[in-house]
Amino acid sequence: MERETKIAICNLYKIFGPDPNTALEAVKEDGLNKSDLMAQTGHVLGLEDINIDIKAGEITVVMGLSGSGKSTLIRHINRLIEPTAGKIIFGDHNLIECGQQMLRRIRREEMSMVFQKFALLPHKTVVENAALALEIRGFSDKEYIPEARKWLDRVGLQGFEESHPHQLSGGMQQRVGIARALTSNAGVMLMDEAFSALDPLIRTDMQDLLLELQEELHKTIVFITHDLDEALKLADHLVILKDGKVIQQAEPQTVLLEPNDPYIIDFISDINRVRVLRVRTVMEDIPEGTKVSCCGEVDHDDNLESVIAMSGGDTHKTYLVKDGSKEVGILHMAKLLKSLVPIEAPDEGIRCSGG
Amino acid sequence: MATYDFVFSGLGLKDWCNKDGTGSAGPVSMADLMAQSGGKEIPSPSLWDLPFPSMDALHEACAAFPKSRVLTKGLEQGFLEIKDNLSLVLDPLTQPLSWALSGTLSLFQETPWWLMIPLLLAVVMLVSRSVKLVGFVALSFALLSFINYYDYAIQTLAVIFVCAFLCVLVGVPIGIAMSRSDALQRTAIPVLDMLQTLPPFVYLIPLIFLFSVTEPKLYGIAIILYAIVPVVRLTDLGIRLVDKDVIEAADAFGMTNRQKLYKVEIPLALPNIMAGVNQTIMMSLAMVVIASLVSAPGLGVLVLRGIRNLELGVGLVSGLGIVLLAVILDRTTKLALARINAAQRD
Ligand SMILES: Nc1ncnc2c1ncn2[C@@H]1O[C@H](COP(=O)(O)OP(=O)(O)OP(=O)(O)O)[C@@H](O)[C@H]1O
Ligand SMILES: [Mg+2]
């Protein structure tokens, strides 16, 4: 099913430095890359020709290594950073051209943000922090406190409403951050490495919480991470960024099966593919008019590990794939095995050769 | 025959030197008089005794060359000339300060002690939330009142109250403006440095010329100029140090600049601002003692009396009174600061 585009980023460029426009010419005409531009003009190429359609109700994950421009990109979406060139279409507006008044309204009502370092107000209580967006909009505390409490309950923080942020653990502080974003009731949620500062177990909890909330709320989420596992777990649409450029964007399963850049191959070479790949990615269509005779049924969203467990290692078996009660395809174990053949990692790891 | 004769003869300026007569024209300084009365003989010039080619040394060689006293005299003259115009502007501008000072002074003094002391204790309690400190304040005031120093102490407090209040009222906005503009910060910092390093006595000199010594605003201005520096500096610093991530969050949720200032920047800078207020109060206290030279009332007057009349006891006891006030003011503001810090520890 194709969803409508909520935010379209078109030909976005960002160059840091004293004279970005001249540097932009150099990038567009001479095709300089990040390190060339740095060497020749001393400007930093933050983002280069970014085009992304962010679909409503999906989690779009932007992944890349440190310095690849992820934070720069997400800050363009609510224009915390001004671009050097390009458009960001949101509804009927180009955010880059809209006035301060309009921009403020969009930030207040349409977009919320969750930060890596939580960025809570230390002098306010948890419930006041969660209510921030409504308070800014001018609601009275009688209106915003119950709303904030509701969302704090929803993220599992009942009983901590009157605490101050410094009394909470990191994971709990980020729950406040999420509650704050939810209380604003904005359709778009921007999350910049929201879980990166948390330790692995808490992190998994938070990812589960986010997926659970998303199941129910269908927000349009842009999620930044440098962690592939996290990206694969959360993403409906995965954008991979390198040196300020998008090098691949697709459904995560596609990125895994058909990586189009040595950089990505290097990235995914450590991934446990059996756990991540889904039946629907490797199944085949049911041939016309055939009655499938097979030895079992699997769900289209199962991961391959569970199918292998079910088959007991027999590569001759074939399964019928179902989406609810609908038959959507067949899965040959031999095909499944093929999809697990690792894609050759380049001899030298890209991550190291970059320096 | 003076050391630097050769300079003027070399330059062919002898005529110009002797044009307006010989002998020392212009004002006579104390050193000249001493030298004259001493009637010392001119020693044979050796390189060891070579004087710096200063204005006075050059004057000796050339009568037309001005002495350094002419320079300072010129400054005086210049100041006296603009003085009238300056007072015309400054007088009405600063008049409210006189009113505030004399008003507060009479209010503090006319309130009977049995009302004033409990009121002070209540304020200390409110600000510091410390029973121990309130006890200390009660004891200190009982002691000061018992030895008949209550009036002086309350005068000092009244002056500090007005001046510190005005320092905060003016200093915090200046600090905020400085934190917003790098250009303003660059120009303001040398001025603040100067205000802080000038010896307090130096402030008094131009002020005495500008205002009459009997007016309260004279010492009011001196105190405010001296004590305003820390609150300005620390407000600027405090706001610049506010966590960039929190500011970004405020922007991302669509705060206006005004909302950001009142809901984020000032509250987060408050520990620093309060540290500035504490220093400002302490510096007001230091200055109010010195300002007794120009008729500031209070314990300073007694210290002065101690020095002038060699009344050792009076000087020492009033000094002790000042120390007590200093401890009280410092403890009270520090405890308030500690409370703010505890509330927003990260
Ligand atoms: N204000 C700035 N001035 C100059 N260069 C900048 C500025 N902000 C970012 N950059 C540069 O832009 C590039 C992208 O930075 P960005 O912070 O977006 O990376 P990131 O992918 O978020 O990295 P991380 O994972 O470390 O957060 C980096 O090379 C950085 O040095
Ligand atoms: Mg970042």
- In the numeric block, the tokens 């004399």 are attached to B102
Judged against a pLDDT cut of 50, whether residue A355 lies above it is answered with no
Tokens standing for A215?
């199941």
How many angstroms does the Cα of residue A193 sit away from the middle of ligand 2? 7
Judged against a pLDDT cut of 50, whether residue A348 lies above it is answered with no
3-state secondary structure (DSSP) of residue A15: strand
Judged against a pLDDT cut of 60, whether residue B22 lies above it is answered with no
| Mean of all residue pLDDT scores within chain B | 88
Q: From its phi and psi, is residue B33 left (phi > 0), alpha (psi between -120 and 50) or beta?
A: alpha
**More confident of the two residues A328 and A143:** A143
How many Å separate Cα B151 from the centre of its chain? 24
Buried/exposed code over B123-145 (b: 16+ C-beta within 10 A; e: otherwise): ebeeebebeebbebbeebbeebb
Cross-chain Cβ contact B246/A136 below 8 Å: no
DSSP state of B300: H
The predicted structure's pLDDT at residue A354: 36
| A78, A117, A166 ranked by CB distance to B252: nearest | A78
Judged against a pLDDT cut of 50, whether residue B109 lies above it is answered with yes
What CA–CA distance (Å, rounded) separates B180 from B274? 20
- Of the listed ranges A30-34, A340-344, A351-355, B244-248, the one predicted with least confidence: A351-355
Q: Whose CA is nearest to atom 22 of ligand 1?
A: A71
- Residues A247 and A241: beta-carbon distance below 8 Å: yes
What CA–CA distance (Å, rounded) separates B346 from B246? 12
Cross-chain Cβ contact A123/B343 below 8 Å: yes
- Of the listed ranges A9-13, B61-65, B167-171, B172-176, the one predicted with least confidence: B61-65
**At residue B132, what is the residue type?**
K
- In the numeric block, the tokens 């630097």 are attached to B4
Work out the pLDDT band at B1, boundaries 50, 70, 90.
Answer: low
Burial of A289 (0-12, 13-18, 19+ CB in 10 A): exposed
Tokens standing for A208?
């589960």
DSSP state of B47: G
Q: Within 10 A of A285 (CB to CB), how many other CB atoms are there?
A: 9
Buried/exposed code over A82-116 (b: 16+ C-beta within 10 A; e: otherwise): ebbbbbbbbeeeebbebeeeebbebbbebbbbbbb
Contact residues for A103 (Cβ-Cβ < 8 A; gap 6+): A79, A95
Burial of B311 (0-12, 13-18, 19+ CB in 10 A): middle
DSSP codes of every residue in B253-294: TT--HHHIIIIIIHHHHHHHHHHHHHHHHHHHHHHHHHGGGG
Could you tell me which chain A residue has the CA closest to the CA of B260? Answer: A136
Judged against a pLDDT cut of 60, whether residue B42 lies above it is answered with no
Work out the pLDDT band at B214, boundaries 50, 70, 90.
Answer: confident
Tokens standing for B39?
């009637």
Q: Looking at beta carbons, which residues of chain A come within 8 Å of B254? A: 104-109, 133, 136-137
What CA–CA distance (Å, rounded) separates A108 from B251? 9
Q: Within 10 A of B147 (CB to CB), how many other CB atoms are there?
A: 11
3-state secondary structure (DSSP) of residue B91: helix
Work out the pLDDT band at B20, boundaries 50, 70, 90.
Answer: low
pLDDT tens digits for range B256-283 = 999 999 999 999 999 999 999 999 999 9
Tokens standing for B29?
């300084």
Work out the pLDDT band at A26, boundaries 50, 70, 90.
Answer: confident
Contact residues for B254 (Cβ-Cβ < 8 A; gap 6+): A104, A105, A106, A107, A108, A109, A133, A136, A137
- Residues A234 and A61: beta-carbon distance below 8 Å: yes
**More confident of the two residues A304 and B150:** B150
DSSP state of A260: -
| Mean of all residue pLDDT scores within chain A | 88
Q: Looking at beta carbons, which residues of chain A come within 8 Å of B260? A: none
Q: Within an 8 Å CB–CB cutoff, is residue B270 touching chain A?
A: yes
Whether the full predicted model's pTM is greater than 0.80, yes or no, is yes
A192 φ/ψ angles, rounded to the nearest 5 degrees: -95, 105
Cross-chain Cβ contact B345/A122 below 8 Å: yes
Q: Whose CA is nearest to atom 4 of ligand 1?
A: A16
pLDDT tens digits for range A39-56 = 888 999 999 999 999 999
Give strand pairing partners of A224.
A62, A192
- Of the listed ranges A341-355, B98-112, B232-246, the one predicted with least confidence: A341-355
Tell me the residue length of chain B.
Answer: 346
Helix (H) or strand (E) holding A60: strand A59-63
Contact residues for B213 (Cβ-Cβ < 8 A; gap 6+): B294, B295
Nearest to B224 by CA among B208, B190, B200, B205: B200
Judged against a pLDDT cut of 80, whether residue B330 lies above it is answered with yes
- Residues A187 and A214: beta-carbon distance below 8 Å: no
What CA–CA distance (Å, rounded) separates B215 from B99? 10
The predicted structure's pLDDT at residue A352: 38
Cross-chain Cβ contact A121/B264 below 8 Å: yes
Kindly report, as residue ranges, where domains of CATH 1.10.3720.10 are found in chain B.
Answer: 76-345
What's the topology of domain B76-345? MetI-like fold (1.10.3720)
- Of the listed ranges A165-174, B85-94, B244-253, the one predicted with least confidence: B85-94
Q: Looking at beta carbons, which residues of chain B come within 8 Å of A109? A: 254
The predicted structure's pLDDT at residue B180: 94
Helix segments in A32-92, DSSP class H = 34-41, 70-77
Query: By a Cβ cutoff of 8 Å, what residues of chain A touch chain B?
Result: 78, 80, 104-109, 111-113, 115, 117-123, 132-133, 135-137, 164, 166, 180, 184, 190
How many angstroms does the Cα of residue A75 sit away from the middle of ligand 2? 10
**More confident of the two residues A139 and A326:** A139
What CA–CA distance (Å, rounded) separates A69 from B202? 56
The predicted structure's pLDDT at residue A133: 94
- In the numeric block, the tokens 């002690």 are attached to B113
A70: Cβ below 6 Å to ligand 1?
yes
The residue-averaged pLDDT of A136-152 equals: 94
Judged against a pLDDT cut of 90, whether residue B243 lies above it is answered with yes
- Of the listed ranges A202-216, B43-57, B134-148, the one predicted with least confidence: B43-57
pLDDT tens digits for range A68-113 = 999 999 999 999 999 999 999 998 889 999 999 999 999 999 999 9
